[in-house]
Every structure is written in structure tokens, then in C-alpha cells.
Amino acid sequence: MPYLGPGLLELAAAPVPTTPEDLAAWLGRQVALPKRARGNCWAAAQYIETSRHRSTLDKLMATAFAPPVPPTPLHRALAAAAPPMIVDTWYDGAMRAALAGQQGWGEIQGCPHAKIGEMRWYRAWDAAGQECPPEQAAEWRTLLYKPHGGVVPAANFLLADSDYVEVLTEIDIQTPIPEDVRRRRAGGGFLFLGCRFHDQLLRSYARQILKRSGGGHLAVMGGIEMTRNERAFLEEMQIAVIDQDLPAFVTALAAS
């Protein structure tokens, strides 16, 4: 099952931030940030939410990811392959756009509790972009799971430190992980494309999504100077590294 990170957008020359560091820099150009929040998108988002209100953060994120990202050939190939689940960890809509011509799919996104009265951990939308009960996912051939939210179809973003404090409090017992994600992951392993694990939050999320999965995980991470924690995480989770950079891997995949 594909597990997509923001690095995949480098194949598309995407007009949106393509790494957490890019997003932190973009937010810093919109709002003057204190030194402690610079360079970290989650801390930057928390400062904006605290000092300017949550609605300001959501509007900035909607603006940052408003330019449509055209699906790459890899996005389209993944959509055509119709795997039981695609995990997409960035905020763009390229994977949803690639799936648009397919039948029998829908999307679940993690959602923040920042809105008054919002107590859900996640929300679901069908292929037409209409919100639906998460239980409807049992009928879909392919589930697109965006654990951090996304700009489409409803500009729903999990980003600020406060968002993650709530989620990480519960994630070890799997409450924020949708039931259909748990069911589908048991059937196999994940192929990580465009992902990094150099940040503790990224590792924490991946660890909980992989929990009780079928194993046999692979990560395309050739040419990356990995941190010590990153290497330890890959070993801990038994993720084998494919020693090719992403463009070379995609070219080889297209030729096979």
C-alpha cells in the first residue's frame, strides 16, 4: 500500500510548499514569528493560532495549498492500480485528483478539535466530495487516508502543536486511527514514497499507522543523508530501504 510524503511533489514542480521546512518558511513570510517557532511548521502554526486565532491559520493554509497540484504519472499509476489503501501525508490534492476518474473510492482525513463542538478524530468524504459517515468506507475498493487533513475537499488541516497533543494522547490506543484503516493495513505492508522520518512527530504517526499491519515495508530513500534517529526508526519498524532516488525509481517502475 502506498504511503506518500511531500517529497513526491518534487516530481511535479508543485506550486505549493513541498516539505515541512518549506511550509514553516512560507508561514514565516506571512506572519512575523518568534525565534522559537521559526523553521518548524507545527510550532509556527501554534503561534499563529494562539496569537491570531485558528481561523487565521486555516485561511493561511488554504492559501498556501490553493494552487492545484497536477497529479504526476506516479499518482495516476497508483490510482489505476486501485490498492486497498493509499496513505497521503501532505496537504495537497494531487492524489484525490488522480483518483477522480476511478470508481469505488473515498477519503478519510484526520481533523482537529479546534472548532467549537468538534469532537471527531476524523471525517470522511465520498468520491464526489460530499461528506459521509466514516462507516461508508467499508464499501470502497480504495481508501485514501490523509491523517493530517488536506486542502480539498473542505480545507481541513491538522497542523498546530495543540492539534497533535490531543491526537498523540490517544493514538497509542489507536482511537484517532479510523477503523477501516486498521482493517485494511492488516492485509500487507507499505511502500514509502517521498517520505522522511527526521522529525519525531512524523515517526510517531508512521509508527501508529504501521501498527498491526501485515509487514514487508519498503522505503525509497536513495541519496538521502538520513539522521541517526531516522535510521533507528527504519530498523525498529523493519522498513527495508530501496537505494534509489525517487525519480530513478519512478523511471524504473514505468519501464517495468
Q: Mean pLDDT over all residues of the chain?
A: 93
pLDDT, one tens digit per residue, over 9-37 is 988 889 999 999 999 999 999 999 999 99
Q: Which residues pair with 122 in a beta bridge?
A: 110
Cis peptide bond prior to 153, omega within 30° of 0:
yes
- Rounded to whole angstroms, the Cα distance separating 196 from 6 reads 9
User: How does pLDDT run across 158-203, given as a tens digit for each residue?
Assistant: 999 988 888 888 777 788 899 999 999 998 999 999 999 999 989 9
Tell me which residue has cell 521546512: 21
Contact 143, 180 (CB under 8 A): yes
pLDDT the model gives residue 20:
95
Q: What is the pLDDT of residue 250?
A: 85
pLDDT digits (tens, 9 = 90+) for 198-215: 999 899 989 989 988 999
pLDDT at 118: 60
pLDDT (0 to 100) of residue 173: 79
What angle separates helix 54-64 from helix 41-52, to the nearest 10 degrees?
130
Flag whether pLDDT at 218 surpasses 70: yes
Mean pLDDT of 119-148: 95
pLDDT at 116: 52
Tell me the per-residue pLDDT of 73-97, one tens digit each, with 9 for 90 and over.
999 999 999 999 999 999 999 999 9
pTM of the model: 0.95
pLDDT the model gives residue 114: 61
Q: In this structure, are residues 198 and 230 in contact, taking their beta carbons and an 8 Å threshold? A: yes
Indicate if the pLDDT at residue 117 is higher than 60.
no
Residue type, 237: M
